[in-house]
């Protein structure tokens, strides 16, 4: 890939802070990470609905959806997953600049890739939400039948089966979807946003 040259940053006259003030809440990314079937999509969808209902401006980026468009040229090799997460970090950064509480739901299995996104966004605007769920429980749920295919050898390099998932070390929030209900998980994240002053 060639790098762009002769490009100059052009500032806007409306700042992120002004957008946040108009919205009446701060902006940040809620970075959901966890195994396939752990509940990233389910929890982020329910959480976004609740946030929207209380007047928070949101947008949700989901692995399956983004891989249909922006990242349709990427597969599941380690290099492609890294590029997937790099692009999502950049898109999330733009959305946070636009004043949105941005919810991303990607397996994002590599710590280094998540930490790169954290560094890009900055500590205050990157909230890592570890969707913790045992691989056994995810496999039992198998909402898309992918674990079955992975066990049968029809999918190679499936996260948790024959590809790694590196657990977060110090996530801002952990939800345990094999122990908590969906409603409890959503509430844990809302409590965090309120306690840390992101939303009123």
Ligand X SMILES: Nc1ncnc2c1ncn2[C@@H]1O[C@H](COP(=O)(O)OS(=O)(=O)O)[C@@H](OP(=O)(O)O)[C@H]1O
Q: Tell me the C-alpha to C-alpha distance, in Å, between residue 55 and each of 24, 40, 105, 115, 162.
A: 9, 22, 21, 30, 42
76 forms part of the interface with ligand X (CB under 6 A): yes
Geometric angle at alpha carbon 51, from 87 and 39, rounded to 5°: 60
If binding is defined by CB under 6 A, does position 84 make contact with ligand X? Answer: yes
Sheet (strand 173-176) strand order = 58-62, 101-105, 28-33, 126-132, 173-176
**Position 68 contacts ligand X (CB under 6 A):** no
What string marks each residue from 9 to 48 as x (binds ligand ADP by CB under 6 A) or -? -------------------------x-xxxxxxxx-----
From the CB of 88, what's the least distance to ligand X, in Å?
A: 8
Q: Is 27 a catalytic residue?
A: no
Work out whether strand 101-105 and strand 58-62 pair parallel, antiparallel, or are unpaired.
Answer: parallel
**Residue 106 touching ligand X (CB under 6 A):** yes
Decide which of ligand ADP, ligand X, none touches 42; Cβ closer than 5 to 8 Å per partner kind. Answer: ligand ADP
- Rounded Cα distance, 174 and 196, in Å: 15
Annotated binding residue at 35? yes
Using CB under 6 A as the binding rule, whether residue 93 contacts ligand X is answered as: no
143 binds ligand ADP (CB under 6 A): yes
Residue nearest to ligand ADP (CB): 39
- Site residues for ligand X, 128-187, by CB under 6 A, read 144, 146, 155, 157-159, 163
Rounded to an integer, what distance in angstroms lies between the CA atom of residue 169 and that of residue 133? 15
Please tell me the distance from the alpha carbon of residue 128 to that of residue 114, in angstroms, as a whole number: 9
Task: Please indicate if the annotation marks 160 as binding a ligand.
Answer: no
Which residues are part of the catalytic machinery? 108
Binding footprint of ligand ADP on the chain (CB under 6 A): 34, 36-43, 105, 141, 143, 177, 180-182, 185
């Amino acid at each position: 890939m060639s790098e762009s040259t002769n490009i100059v940053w052009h500032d806007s006259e409306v700042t992120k802070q002004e957008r946040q003030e108009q919205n009446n809440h701060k902006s940040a990314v809620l970075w959901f990470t966890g195994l396939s079937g752990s509940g990233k999509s389910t929890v982020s969808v329910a959480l976004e609905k609740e946030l929207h209902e209380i007047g928070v401006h949101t947008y949700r980026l989901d692995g399956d959806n983004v891989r249909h468009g922006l990242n349709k040229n990427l597969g599941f090799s380690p290099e492609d997953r890294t590029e997937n997460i790099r692009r999502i970090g950049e898109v999330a950064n733009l959305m946070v600049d636009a004043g949105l509480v941005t919810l991303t739901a990607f397996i994002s299995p590599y710590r280094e890739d998540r930490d790169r996104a954290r560094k890009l966004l900055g500590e205050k605007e990157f909230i890592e939400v570890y969707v913790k769920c045992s691989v056994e429980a995810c496999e039992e749920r198998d909402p898309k039948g992918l674990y079955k295919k992975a066990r049968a050898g029809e999918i190679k390099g499936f996260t948790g089966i024959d590809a790694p998932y590196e657990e977060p070390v110090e996530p801002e929030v952990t939800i345990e979807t094999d122990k908590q209900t969906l409603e409890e998980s959503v509430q844990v994240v809302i409590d965090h946003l309120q306690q840390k002053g992101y939303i009123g």
